[in-house]
Structure 1
Amino acid sequence: MKRHTISFPGTSFPDVEVPADDFLSLHLTATNSPLLFGCRAGLCGTCLIEVVAHDRSSDLAVSAEEREALALYAPDRPDARLACQVRASGPMAVRRLVV
């Protein structure tokens, strides 16, 4: 099974290998990442992240529902995402956003 590396620049957390196309929320926890997950359904904004770097050829598609939530949680942050909605489509570096 193909896996992708998720890194957390600026933290002491080691990289995490996540199965390709799985949601980050299925594999990242408070013990292996700096990310927090509240609802895991894209409604609460607890898992707001900034995608610092990713393979530009990978698909980081944003659903209409997530886009609507991001307009509320991070309106001026084009690299913002809800980690519970992101699939591991390639290696990426993410940072927790606090707004």
Structure 2
Amino acid sequence: MSTVRIEFPDTAFPPQEIPLRGCLPLHLSVQNSPLLFGCRSGLCGTCLIEVEAAADAVEPPADDEREALEIYAPGNPRARLACQLVPLGALRVRKIESV
């Protein structure tokens, strides 16, 4: 099984290896990451993050996620909802507060 590395810069959390295309809420928790997951359906904004990655390291956001990002992080091209993110390569993520 292929995995991808998720790093959490500027935190004490070590990088995590999760399955390629893995669902972040299934593999990340408060014990192994700084990310919090609320509704897990892309509506609440609890898991709002900034992603540093190569352009092909994540699938582009679906229309529903794009609409939510316009509300929670307008004008931030690196903002994503972790619960909706599909990792295809190594990522560096930072939790951000919604507007």
- The answer to whether the superposition gives a TM-score over 0.5 is yes
User: Which sections of structure 2, spanning at least 5 residues, go unmatched?
Assistant: none
Q: Corresponding residue for 1:45? A: 45
What RMSD over aligned residues (CA atoms) do the two structures have, in Å?
Answer: 1.0
Distance, in Å, in 2 between the alignment partners of 1:59 and 1:27 is 16
SS of corresponding position for 2:94: strand
Alignment pair present for 1:86 and 2:91: no
Q: Deviations over 1:42-76 (max 9, x none)?
A: 0100000000x213333431000000000000002
TM-score, normalising length from structure 1?
0.94
Q: Deviations over 1:6-40 (max 9, x none)?
A: 00000010000010011211101111000000011
TM-score, normalising length from structure 2?
0.94
SS of corresponding position for 2:83: helix
Distance, in Å, in 2 between the alignment partners of 1:58 and 1:48 is 18
Distance, in Å, in 2 between the alignment partners of 1:48 and 1:41 is 12
Q: Corresponding residue for 2:28? A: 28
Q: Corresponding residue for 1:75? A: 74
**Larger helix proportion of the pair:** 2
User: Which sections of structure 1, spanning at least 5 residues, go unmatched?
Assistant: none
